[in-house]
A and B are shown apart, each in its own frame.
Chain A
Amino acid sequence: MTPRREIVASVRALDAGSSFGRSVSMVVRGGDFLFVSSLAAVDPHSGEHVRGTTASETRQILTNLEHLLEAAGSSLDKVVKVNVLLHTMLEAPNMNEVYARFFPEPPPARTVCGARLPDGAKVIIECTALA
């Protein structure tokens, strides 16, 4: 059977606020997995970028990620791999402290990397999860 590729419709409505008109789908299902685009800290009500500390941006992103996954029929405990990009690796402990509160044991595989991020974000997070 050919595996299905699907732009997850239940989160399409949220796309407008979070993809900022870029040619990106926030959640794509391919076969058994969900691929989630990088999330920056966005206020779910206004759809505006929220600028804050690394900790507060991480909290906003993971809160939004939880909602996105649940809207797509998945959840944080089904995440298999996370990539976290930080504007500086010096902020890794601040991100970790918040991050650890979101994922149930055992947490997913993860890579953290320092990079220059778009739109002045301090953190962006993407993941792959079981559908």
Chain B
Amino acid sequence: MTEKLSRSVVQPRNPRLNVSRNANLPHVPGIRIGDYIFLSGMGPIDPQTGERNHGPITEQIRTTLRNMQHMLESAGSSLERVVRVHVVLADISDMPEMERVYREFFPIDPPARTAWSMQLRFGNGCEIECVALAT
């Protein structure tokens, strides 16, 4: 563990999904460090327009998880390599709907997960972040 771990920025192939850069926010979409990728919290951004998608919560979750998949695949990882997820909902009563959509993305051997509810910015219904193995 004495050698220095390499640290690099994770960027989406689709530049419309680089939300922090497009909004000039002081964070990056993700960081790869050693064997791990740490993604920033992601919201429901339409990959065609780069605008927020504030449809029904099931659509917001689906869009967000698709974008997360895109981000991981852009960095050579995948949903199958995710080890831990944080799901933050604006409304705690959306938990069953979230669970239903989430299951489509992690059908077998899902990652460790914590889900809770708190205030989110921009009227988003969800924000999701994860840690994945890089390769």
Assess A7 versus B116: contact at CB under 8 Å? Given A28-B84, A31-B36, A116-B92: no
Question: Considering the complex, which residues of chain B in the window 61-108 have a beta carbon less than 8 Å from any beta carbon of chain A?
Answer: 80-81, 83-84, 92, 95, 99, 102-103, 106-107
Interface residue? B41 (CB, 8 A):
no
B117 near A: Cβ within 8 Å? yes
B117 pairs with A35, CB closer than 8 A: no
Which among B81, B102, B106, B116 is the interface contact of A115 at CB below 8 angstroms?
A: B116
Given contacts A5-B83, A118-B115, contact A23 B133 (CB under 8 A): no
- Tell me if A24 and B112 are in contact (CB < 8 A): yes
- B135 in contact with A118 (CB, 8 Å): no
- For this complex, into which size category does the number of interface residues on chain A fall? 20 to 34
Confirm or deny: B27 has a beta carbon within 8 angstroms of a beta carbon on chain A: no
**A79 within 8 Å of B (CB atoms):** no
- B110 CB to closest chain A CB, in angstroms? 5
Chain B positions within 8 Å of A, measured between CB atoms, are 35-36, 80-81, 83-84, 92, 95, 99, 102-103, 106-107, 109-118, 131-133, 135
14 A-B residue pairs with CB within 8 Å: A3-B35, A23-B102, A23-B103, A23-B106, A23-B110, A30-B35, A31-B133, A35-B84, A35-B111, A38-B113, A115-B116, A118-B115, A118-B116, A126-B112
